[in-house]
Chain A
Amino acid sequence: MAQELKSINLVAPAFKGINTEDSPLAQDPSFAEIADNAVIDKRGRIAARKGHSVITTDKTALGSGTIRALHEFEKSSGSNVVLSAGNNKVFTGTTTLTDATPGGYTITADNWKIVNFNEKAYLFQASHAPLVYDGTSVVTLSSVSGAAGVVQGNEVLAAYGRLWVTGLSTNPSVVYWSDLLIGHDYSGGTSGSIDISKVWPDGYDEIVALAAHNGFLIIFGKRSIVVYQGAEAPATMSLADTVAGVGCVDRDTVQYTGTDVLFLSHTGLKSFGRTIQQKSMPVSSLSGNITKDIINALQTETSFFRSAYSPEEGFYLLTFVGQDNTYCFDVRGTTENGSYRVTRWPSTGFACYTRLDNGDFNIGTSSGISQYTGYQDNGLGYRFKYYSPSLTFGDASRIKILKKLKPTLVGANNATVFMKWAYDFKGTYSTAEFTVGDQVTGFFGESEYTVVEFTGGALTNQRSLNATGYGTSVVVGLEAEIDGSQLSLQEINVMALMGKLL
C-alpha cells in the first residue's frame, strides 16, 4: 500500500529573515539560513532587493576610485546639491562629479562625515582640516571669516543649533560645540567643550560618535555610552545616564529612524528605543539573530563602516565596506526576541549611502553615484538566494523522502530559478532549474489583447518540481538571477514521504 504524501507548506518562508544563532534543527521555518540580496517586502515575504542604477555619467574626476561618502546638501531655497567624496577628492553633483576640493588642500582619506547646518554643509574627518560648503564652493572652515578655534575632529553632529565636534586624537574624550548657529566659531559666544574623561562609567574610553535625540546628547564611546540631558543649553546640560559595556564601533553606523537611534556596538546592532520609553538605558539588541556573524564581520573589518536608513524602503543598511558585505535590517517590526528581520547583500560594491530629501536612496560605488531602484545592478543581474534552516517536519527520527517541491513566486519575469535541496546538513545540493515565463503585467487600455494577459499587478508563478533523495533533515533553497524584475517568494510547498524510524 502506497504511503500518503505528507505536505509541509512553508508559507512566506524566511519572512523573519536570517537566523544563524539558533540550532538549525530547532528553528522556525520562518527563518532562513541564507537570505542573500533579499529584503522583506511590503507583504512580509522574502524578496529580491532592488538594484542600483548609476546616475553618474561623467566620473572622470573620480577616476578609479570609489565614492565613499555621500551627502545631500539642502538649502532653504531648495537648491539641493549632492556632495560626495572619493579618490581623495570632494565632489559636487551626481551626473557629473565635479571636483570641488579646495586648491592646495591635500586629502589623504575619504572617510568624511558631512552634515548640514545653517545653510552650509560641514565636512569633518580625522587628521584633516574641516571643510565647509556654502552652495558654491568648498573651502577650509578656518578660512571662513570669523572662524575661531576650529577643531579638527573626526565626528561632527549638527544639533540644537550648534555643531558638535569630537574625535580628536589628542583629546579623545572631549566634545566641542560651536557658538549658536555659527559653525565656524569654537572659542567665542556660547561655544564650549566638555571633557568626559572623568565621566566614563568604566574609567576610560574614547569618543567614537555623537547623536542627538529627544533633547539628549548621546556620546558613544568604544565600550560605553554617556547621555547628557538639556543639550539645548550645553553650558547647563547634565548627565542623564551612562551605559557601561556597550559602545559604538564606528560613527557611520549611527542612524536615526525618527523614533529611535540605531548604532552598531561590538555585540551587534543596538537601539535606544527602550530608553525613550522606560527612561533607562538598557539597550536592546536588534541583531540577535545574527550576532555571531555581525561580531565576526566587525572584527575582521579593516576599512569603513557605512550605514543608512530609508523610511521608504523600511530598512537599515549596515555595510562592512572592506568585506563588501551589507546587512539589511527590516525596521518595520521585530521578531519574538526583539531583533530586526535581517537579510544579507553580499558583494554589491556598495560603499556609502544617503537618502535624499525626495526619498530617493543613493548609493556610492566605484561607478559613481547610483540610485537604489530597478532590479539590476548597473545593468547587470544579481543572484537572489534563499535557504531554509534544516527542516525535520516535526519528527526528527524519521526519514523524509522529498517527492515534490512547489515554490510559489511573485514576479520574477523571465528569471531562471534554481530550486535546491539537501539532506542531513550536507553541503551537496540537488538542483532543479526552471525559467519563469513572461510576467509582464498587462493593464486594460495599455496593452493589447494579443500581447499580454490582463492582470492586477505582479503575476504569481507556481511550479511543481520533482525532488530526489532522502534524509532525516532537509534544507530547501531557492536561487534566482534577478535581472530586471522583482521576485518574491510567497511559499514553498514540500511534498514528502515519511519513512521509517532510524
Chain B
Amino acid sequence: MLSLPQLLGLGSLGAGGLLTGKAYQRLGDIGEQARRESSELAETGMEQSQFRPFTVTTGTGGALSTTPEGGLTVGLSPQEQAFQQQMFGGAGQFYGQAMQPTQEREQAVFERIRQAQRPEEERQRLATEERLASQGRLGLRTAQFGGAPEQFALAKAQEESRNQAMLSAMQQAQQEQMQQAQLGGQFMGAGYTPQAQALNVLQAGLPAAQMAQRGQLYGAGLFGEAEMGGLEALLGSGLGQANLYGQLGTGLLSGLLTPQSVGMGDGITKIVNPFFELLGIGG
C-alpha cells in the first residue's frame, strides 16, 4: 500500500506530465496557426500587390489599354485608322510596283531618252549630209567605213548614244524600282505612325501608373509587415505560454525526483525513490 508521500509523488508526477504535454500541444498549435495565417497574409499580399490595368487616351482620340495579364491594347481613332489604311494602301502599291519586271519601264525610259536625242541626231545627220554634199562625197562608199568616215563616226556616236540611253534606262528603271521599294517602306512606316505615337503617349502615362502601383505596393508592404508583426507577437505569446507550461511541468518533475533529507525532503525522496527503483535507476 502506497504511502502518502508516495501518493503525493505520483500526483506531482502526473501534473508535471500534463503540463509538459500541455506545453507541447501549445507549441504545435501556435506553429499551425502561424503557418495558416501566413498563408492568408500571402494571399492577401498577392491580392494587394496584383497589377491593376490602366488606360491612356491620346489627344487625337486613340486609347491604349492594359490588361490584368499585362497585355496592351492599342486603339486608334477613326482618323488615325483612315490614315493608317491610306498609308498601308500606298505601301502596297509601291511594293507592288517594285515587284514588277523592269523591262517595260526600261523601254519606256529608253524611248523618252531617244525622243530627246532624235532631233539633235537628225540635225547632226543633216549637217553631215550637207557637208558631204558640199564636198561632193554624198555617194561615197568604203569597205572600211561603209560610207564616209564622217558618216561612220556619226553613226557610231549615235549608236553609242543609243547604247548609253539603253544603259541609262536600265539604271533609271532599277533606281525607280528601288525608290518604289523605299517609298513602300516609308509608307509602311508612316502607317504605323499613329500606333507609334500612341505608344509614345503610353510612355508618358507610365510614370503615373507606376506611381499608383508604387503606392499600392507600399500599402501592401505595410499590411504585410503589420500582419507579420501580429503573427510574431502571437508566436511570442504562444511560445511564452508553452515555456510556462513547460517550466511548471519541469519543476514538478524535478521536485519529485530530488531526495529530501529533512522533512518533506525525505518524504519526497521516499516518494521518488520507489519511482526510480521502479525505473531501475539509483538504489
A189 touches B144 (CB 8 A): yes
B-side contacts of A199, CB under 8 Å: 136, 138-139
B140 closest partner in A (C-beta): A194
A-B contacts, CB under 8 A, total = 59
- The distance in angstroms between the C-alpha atoms of A236 and B143, with both chains bound, is 13
A-side contacts of B138, CB under 8 Å: 195, 198-199
Count residues of chain A with CB under 8 A from any CB of chain B.
25
Interface 0/1 of B135-171, CB less than 8 Å to A: 1111111111100110000000000000000000000
B-side contacts of A189, CB under 8 Å: 143-144
B149 touches A192 (CB 8 A): no
Contact A191-B134, Cβ < 8 Å, known A235-B148, A235-B149, A236-B149? no
Contact of B142 among A192, A196, A239, A242 (CB under 8 A): A192
- The distance in angstroms between the C-alpha atoms of A183 and B139, with both chains bound, is 22
Interface 0/1 of A156-188, CB less than 8 Å to B: 000000000000000001100001000000011
A238 at the interface (CB under 8 A from B): yes
Contact of A191 among B137, B139, B140, B143 (CB under 8 A): B143
Interface 0/1 of A279-293, CB less than 8 Å to B: 000000000000000
A-side contacts of B142, CB under 8 Å: 190-193, 234-235
B133 at the interface (CB under 8 A from A): yes
B143 touches A194 (CB 8 A): no
B-side contacts of A191, CB under 8 Å: 142-143
Contact of A239 among B136, B143, B145, B148 (CB under 8 A): B136
Contact of A235 among B134, B136, B139, B145 (CB under 8 A): B145
A234 closest partner in B (C-beta): B142
A-side contacts of B144, CB under 8 Å: 189-190, 192, 235
A90 at the interface (CB under 8 A from B): no
Q: Could you tell me the distance in whole angstroms from the C-beta of B6 to the nearest C-beta in chain A?
A: 155
A412 at the interface (CB under 8 A from B): no
- The distance in angstroms between the C-alpha atoms of A238 and B136, with both chains bound, is 6
Chain A 213-249 residues near chain B, CB threshold 8 A: 226, 228, 234-239, 242
A190 touches B143 (CB 8 A): yes
A194 touches B141 (CB 8 A): yes
B139 touches A198 (CB 8 A): yes
B-side contacts of A198, CB under 8 Å: 133, 138-139
Contact of A238 among B135, B139, B141 (CB under 8 A): B135
A197 at the interface (CB under 8 A from B): yes
A195 touches B143 (CB 8 A): no
- The distance in angstroms between the C-alpha atoms of A199 and B144, with both chains bound, is 23
B-side contacts of A194, CB under 8 Å: 136-137, 139-141
B134 touches A239 (CB 8 A): yes
- The distance in angstroms between the C-alpha atoms of A197 and B133, with both chains bound, is 11
Which interface residue of A194, A195, A197, A242 has the most chain B CB atoms within 10 A? A194
- The distance in angstroms between the C-alpha atoms of A239 and B136, with both chains bound, is 5
A171 closest partner in B (C-beta): B139
A175 closest partner in B (C-beta): B139
- The distance in angstroms between the C-alpha atoms of A228 and B145, with both chains bound, is 19
Which interface residue of B142, B148, B149 has the most chain A CB atoms within 10 A? B142
Q: Could you tell me the distance in whole angstroms from the C-beta of A261 to the nearest C-beta in chain B?
A: 19
B140 touches A226 (CB 8 A): no
Chain A 81-109 residues near chain B, CB threshold 8 A: none
Chain A 192-211 residues near chain B, CB threshold 8 A: 192-199
- The distance in angstroms between the C-alpha atoms of A269 and B6, with both chains bound, is 189
A-side contacts of B149, CB under 8 Å: 235-236
B136 touches A196 (CB 8 A): yes
Interface 0/1 of A232-276, CB less than 8 Å to B: 001111110010000000000000000000000000000000000
Pick 6 A–B contacts, CB within 8 A, sort by A. Answer: A193-B139, A196-B139, A197-B139, A238-B135, A239-B137, A242-B136
- Known contacts A190-B142, A195-B140; 11 additional CB pairs below 8 A are A174-B139, A189-B143, A190-B144, A193-B139, A195-B141, A198-B138, A235-B142, A235-B149, A236-B148, A239-B134, A239-B135
Nearest 9 A-B pairs (CB), nearest first? A195-B139, A239-B136, A192-B142, A238-B135, A199-B136, A191-B143, A235-B142, A194-B140, A193-B141
